[in-house]
Structure 1
Amino acid sequence: MTDRTPSKSAEPAPVGDLGRRLTERRTRLGLTLREAAGRAGMAPSYLQYLEEHPGAAPGTGVLHILAEVLHTTVTDLTGGDAELPPGRGQAARHPQFTELTTQECRALLSTHGVGRLAVPTASGPVIVPVNYSVVDGAIVFRTGPGTTPAQAAGCQVAFETDRIDDAFSQGWSVLVRGHARAVTDPDEARRLDARAYSTPWAGGRREQWVRIDPVAVTGRRIAV
């Protein structure tokens, strides 16, 4: 396949940020731009164009080739599943289910990100997403007074985070059970402010830190 410029096509443009998804998937597989282009039978300059130009709209054939080379799906590359929950794909032919060690669980948790917090409330348990970090082995997150996550303080809670890869029908999940408490010491709060990875996506004034000290940490992985 030779170098080319995008052509006007009757096919609809891909949904989502194609270039970002191509780059992310290629990087995750450890492929250079030249290596990925070679496997796809296209000029590196054309793949670079697809990755760097938001308006790039390759044909269906090119998308299928790239999806095969990057071990994913056209739907995933084009962001067609962006508003759909993960896990809709079929199970792999020979899946391998394993329990993770405590060390493996803590390593996965330490990557930080978004997790799900199970909070006991007067009307029953509620599960809400929170932006979390791991500081000194504890799960910490910032919230606002009166919010659902704030109700976790003083309770035994469960916290879960995971990674689902629909393209390969594999993934992992880690479950933490422990006691949650509000951080009231100003020095500890300042230390968390300095060491936490990110601020809550929800925005606004969320200055109340909550800390979960793990009592049990378990996890599982499904691989192909």
Structure 2
Amino acid sequence: MADKAPSRTAEEHALGDLGRRLAARRAELGLSRTEAAARAGMAPGYLQYLEEYSGAAPGPGVLLRLSQVLETTVRDLTGGDTELPSGLGQASRSPDFTSLSVPECRALLSTHGVGRIAVPTVSGPVVVPVNYSVVEGAIVFRTEPGSTPSQASGCQVAFEVDRIDDAFSRGWSVLVRGHARTVTDPDEVRRLAEGTRSEPWAGGHRDQWVRIDPLAITGRRITV
């Protein structure tokens, strides 16, 4: 059966998110707006328009140039893969698989964002995503008392973050193993609140702080 064409509503929503995707990918590559615009053969003001105006709808040629400059795909820039898992792209013919040093792993972890924590429960291990930050060398996140992530407290856990670039068949992953505990000291809670950069996407009243102090950090990278 042929794939269905995306609905007009979906296309409009994707284009409305285009500016944020452009800015985020540009920042990820460490490119200024002027540098990215020059490489794409457009005026910085036009790129600013694309990034800041939610109604911007550039043509296919502009999207293709931007995707090449930002080392991604048109589909990724326009949000066409938001409901798809990572890793659906073709593997490279000559991948280079290397181990990451502990400093490299810590640098990747410090970018913060969303990671996955493996929590031991009475029915077996459960893996759930959490919004995390790195504060004082520890991985910290907020959760709701009684939730699955909160059950990590007092246990040895595994925590994993990764980045998969389907367009270029490359990526990395970092695995942390350590002891998790609930933070109850008011001064420590205050320091964590001041040092975190991520709010829980799930919303709600999540006032239980969990801290993972790493015992072992390992990482892998696949490049072409």
TM-score (ref. length: structure 2): 0.83
Alpha-carbon contact 1:105-1:174 (below 8 Å) kept: yes
The structure richer in helix per residue is: 2
With 183-192 and 122-131 compared, the bigger mean Cα shift is at 183-192
Question: What whole-Å deviation, never above 9, does each CA across 1:92-150 have from its counterpart, x for those lacking one?
Answer: 23321110111111121122221101001111111111111222222121112111111
1:57 Cα shift?
2.1
Aligned residue number for residue 166 of structure 1:
166
1:190 corresponds to 2:198: no
Give, as a single letter, the amino acid of the residue that structure 1 aligns with 2:85: P
Aligned residue number for residue 19 of structure 2:
19
The 1:34–1:160 alpha-carbon spacing in structure 2 relative to 1, beyond 3 Å, is: closer
1:200 corresponds to 2:200: yes
The 1:126–1:55 alpha-carbon spacing in structure 2 relative to 1, beyond 3 Å, is: same
RMSD: 2.3
The 1:73–1:150 alpha-carbon spacing in structure 2 relative to 1, beyond 3 Å, is: same
Give, as a single letter, the amino acid of the residue that structure 2 aligns with 1:22: L
Alpha-carbon contact 1:14-1:57 (below 8 Å) kept: no
Query: Could you say what secondary structure the match of 1:167 adopts?
Result: helix
Give, as a single letter, the amino acid of the residue that structure 1 aligns with 2:144: G
Give, as a single letter, the amino acid of the residue that structure 2 aligns with 1:209: W
Question: What whole-Å deviation, never above 9, does each CA across 1:142-177 have from its counterpart, x for those lacking one?
Answer: 112111111111111111111222222211111011
The 1:152–1:47 alpha-carbon spacing in structure 2 relative to 1, beyond 3 Å, is: closer
Counterpart CA distance in 2 for 1:209 and 1:35 is 40
Alpha-carbon contact 1:26-1:70 (below 8 Å) kept: yes
With 13-22 and 106-115 compared, the bigger mean Cα shift is at 13-22
Aligned residue number for residue 154 of structure 1:
154
Aligned positions, number: 213
The 1:206–1:38 alpha-carbon spacing in structure 2 relative to 1, beyond 3 Å, is: closer
Aligned residue number for residue 6 of structure 2:
none
Equivalences for residues 88-103 of structure 1 within 5 A: 88-103=88-103
Give, as a single letter, the amino acid of the residue that structure 2 aligns with 1:221: R
Counterpart CA distance in 2 for 1:130 and 1:83 is 18
Counterpart CA distance in 1 for 2:104 and 2:54 is 38
Consecutive unaligned residues of structure 1, counting only runs of 5 or more, are 1-11
The 1:56–1:198 alpha-carbon spacing in structure 2 relative to 1, beyond 3 Å, is: closer
The 1:55–1:150 alpha-carbon spacing in structure 2 relative to 1, beyond 3 Å, is: same
Which of 1 and 2 has greater Rg? 1
1:30 Cα shift?
4.7
The 1:108–1:34 alpha-carbon spacing in structure 2 relative to 1, beyond 3 Å, is: closer
The 1:59–1:152 alpha-carbon spacing in structure 2 relative to 1, beyond 3 Å, is: same
TM-score (ref. length: structure 1): 0.83
Give, as a single letter, the amino acid of the residue that structure 2 aligns with 1:176: V
